[in-house]
Structure 1
Amino acid sequence: MKDYSGEHWKVAGTAVTFGKFYKGSIERLEAAGCEVKLNPYGRPLTNEEMIEFAGDCDALIVGNDKVPANVIEHFHNMKVIAKHGVGVDAIDKDQAKKQGILVTNAPGTNKDEVADAAMCLALMVARDFHTMNTHTKNHEWIKYPGVDVVDKTIGVIGAGAIGTAFVRRATGFTDKILVNDLVERDEVKAMGAKYVSKEEIYSSCDIISLHVPLDESTFHLLDEKAFSLMKPGTILVNTARSKCVEVEPLTKALKDGTLRGYGVDVYDFEPPAWLDLFDFPNVVMTPHVAGTTYESNQRMGDTAVTNVIAVKQGKTPPNLITFGGASA
């Protein structure tokens, strides 16, 4: 790999929270000979904005922005696209490879935060505390029961780093944990979880939490057939990817009682096109912040910067995405 140590680099940080709460990552880049500019919009960039903002840069630290092929084609100086987070499905890795641009991510930097948020969403739906909070603050003293989480059957689809962290939290509530993944982890089994088919999770679980990447095998993973297998009152949590759940059968399931509720932190776009189901009282929404805390923000920023600086120094970045899969 070419050593760029003596060169001045331009680095575009489009991740909304990069450099906002923690300045140490920017200071490291500047000390390495980089000029850094940060997202001026406070949201993911459009394709046109991305081309204008990062088109002449040497490195891109990207958040939830989409970086398709027709954007990457305009990156004439780019050496590395570093994800400020884990998932790289929004980056056209084939086009990056074609242009010799390395792609990296920051695995494990927010796994506990996302697992915490997923469990929080499950509890909110179970107890309806989001609605009660609104009532109480409006001086409406309305009491009604929720449902227990303790001793319920909890299903986890996707047991990578985040899914495993969620399993760990679930053991505090129940010993009935069902898991589905392509790879069976000894760590997950040691916690008492049982690997089963997705169909068994759909039909047996009271709570289902999604922790899968988005690819051809997980697109609309929860479709009409999946919802038809669920028992009434199931709680569904999605901190993975929005397109893993098909909207029309999801909407029907929320209306007919198949789902007690839906806790969601992920959307097709940010801010999302408004769906009818977003107005349902049994839907709890957060603005894609499941992995965002002060601590995780520092870890994600530092990891992304470590990857960028490694490339600048002519070294293989520690979290290089191998095309066809992540190094994580």
Structure 2
Amino acid sequence: MYKVRTYNKISEKGLGLFDSERYNIGEGLESPDAFILRSQKLHDEAFPDSLLAIARAGAGVNNIPIPDCTEKGVVVFNTPGANANAVKELVVAGMLLASRDVYGGMNFVQSLTDMDDAGEMAKRLEAEKKRFAGGEIAGKTLGIVGLGAIGSMVANMGLELGMSVAGFDPALSVEAAWRLSSRVQKVDNLHALLKICDFVSLHIPANEHTRGLVDDEAFAAMKPGGCLINFAREEIVDPEALVKALDEGRLHRYVADFPRPELLGRPEAILMPHIGASTAEAEQNCAVMATRQLMDYLENGNITNSVNFPQTRMGRNGGWRITFANRNVPKVLGSVLSVLADRDINVIDMVNKSRGEIAYNIIDVESEPGPGALEAIAAAEGVIRLRVLPPKA
């Protein structure tokens, strides 16, 4: 029986997919095969030797020590796209709030507690409403930085709202390109995008290449009076450059899911408490995707949507299944195949994939590999983690 330790509150719609006859699910389980979590920080937690995989019910994995996991052969999954619609809808709300002073107008209405005459209130509102006038987003240009699962949905949504849409993504995948409307203008670099857009929405991860990406130079390149929307990661925007751009009036509005102390009280900053993916539907979608990916790995050795291992899938072809992770160096796979050949273990099918410094292999064999064969494979230079799965019932 597989044991899966849970952290945080995971949607029952996801956890309910685990077969109770094959899985033991719960908090604090000893010697778990896997973790499933949302925002639980694992950097200071000791991983048990039994741990094979971690499934993050969400896109960001800042709370997981990825290099340590890779070194131990622990596969880390996330759920890209599962919360995309929730974030897309909040981006729409952010653009509307930035275009028209809805929030200011609502606060003004709520401040009229000294008035008890509806007619007088109507006159007051009619006289004051021009203070909260704004513009429409139709006809404006929306720029998307990052055209993945969320960015492509935001881009297509912008078109549906009557906006012109431009996008910049140097790592645009074929899959993402298929999701994207042909009416989205492709721009070659960030500064070229910033120059032409009234709204710019960020949808990229935080890494060594993107931290502080929106800096003084980027703000200087922006179309004056533009609006920056950040529902991606706080670290992408340089905070000092942001405050300077707001102080100088170059940036009309900053809409973000990541409040900072220096932004509080500023009417140009529309800040939300990190609620981009906080919908019941998104939490369910993330939990279902995380659960399915985890089950497929534990039962079949297949890897989908891992942040540290290559995507590797192979249908079950009968027989026993050997999976192993190794350092991406020459001769490892050859050494393993030699072990099998020396013991007359026939290979039915196999797949080998690599990602950076790590490689992953799935090998289906006709007969059960004995302890001697498994010990020899585990001892092969470069092998990090070895598993054997019995034939599917």
Category of TM-score, reference length = shorter chain: 0.7 to 0.9
Identity %: 25
C-alpha change, 1:306 and 1:186, in structure 2 (3 Å) is closer
What is aligned with 2:36? 61
C-alpha change, 1:315 and 1:326, in structure 2 (3 Å) is closer
Aligned with 1:250 (options 242, 246, 249): 242
Q: Which has the higher contact order (CA 8 A, sep 6+)?
A: 1
| Amino acid in structure 2 at the alignment position of 1:82 | A
Q: In the aligned structure 2, how far is the partner of 1:242 from the partner of 1:326?
A: 32
C-alpha change, 1:118 and 1:79, in structure 2 (3 Å) is same
What is aligned with 1:11? 5
Aligned with 1:214 (options 199, 206, 216): 206
Question: Pairwise mapping of residues 148-159 of structure 1 onto structure 2 (< 5 A)?
Answer: 148-159=136-147
Deviations 1:240-292 (A, max 9, x none): 1000001011112122211111111146xxxxxx5121321221222222123
What is aligned with 1:138? 111
Check if 1:117 corresponds to 2:90: yes
What is aligned with 1:44? none
Aligned with 1:320 (options 299, 306, 318): 306
Aligned with 2:26 (options 15, 27, 36): 36
Aligned with 2:277 (options 291, 297, 301): 291
TM-score (norm 1): 0.80
Deviations 1:44-76 (A, max 9, x none): xxxxxxxxx6885432223234433x43x4444
Q: Post-superposition shift, 1:313?
A: 2.4
TM-score (norm 2): 0.68
Aligned with 2:73 (options 97, 100, 107): 100
**Kept in 1: contact 2:187–2:193 (CA 8 A):** no
| Amino acid in structure 2 at the alignment position of 1:182 | P
**Kept in 2: contact 1:127–1:146 (CA 8 A):** yes
Q: In the aligned structure 2, how far is the partner of 1:56 from the partner of 1:177?
A: 50
Question: Number of aligned pairs?
Answer: 293
| Amino acid in structure 2 at the alignment position of 1:25 | G
Secondary structure of 2:195's counterpart equals: helix
C-alpha change, 1:10 and 1:83, in structure 2 (3 Å) is closer
What is aligned with 1:191? 183
What is aligned with 1:311? 297
Structure 1, unmatched stretches of 5+, are 1-5, 38-52, 268-273
Secondary structure of 1:251's counterpart equals: helix
Aligned with 1:180 (options 163, 168, 186): 168
C-alpha change, 1:173 and 1:310, in structure 2 (3 Å) is closer
Q: In the aligned structure 1, how far is the partner of 2:212 from the partner of 2:29?
A: 32
Q: Post-superposition shift, 1:192?
A: 3.5
- Which entry has the higher C-alpha Rg, 1 or 2? 2
Aligned with 1:225 (options 195, 208, 217): 217
Q: Post-superposition shift, 1:303?
A: 1.1
**Kept in 1: contact 2:146–2:167 (CA 8 A):** yes
Q: Post-superposition shift, 1:321?
A: 3.2
Q: In the aligned structure 2, how far is the partner of 1:56 from the partner of 1:133?
A: 53
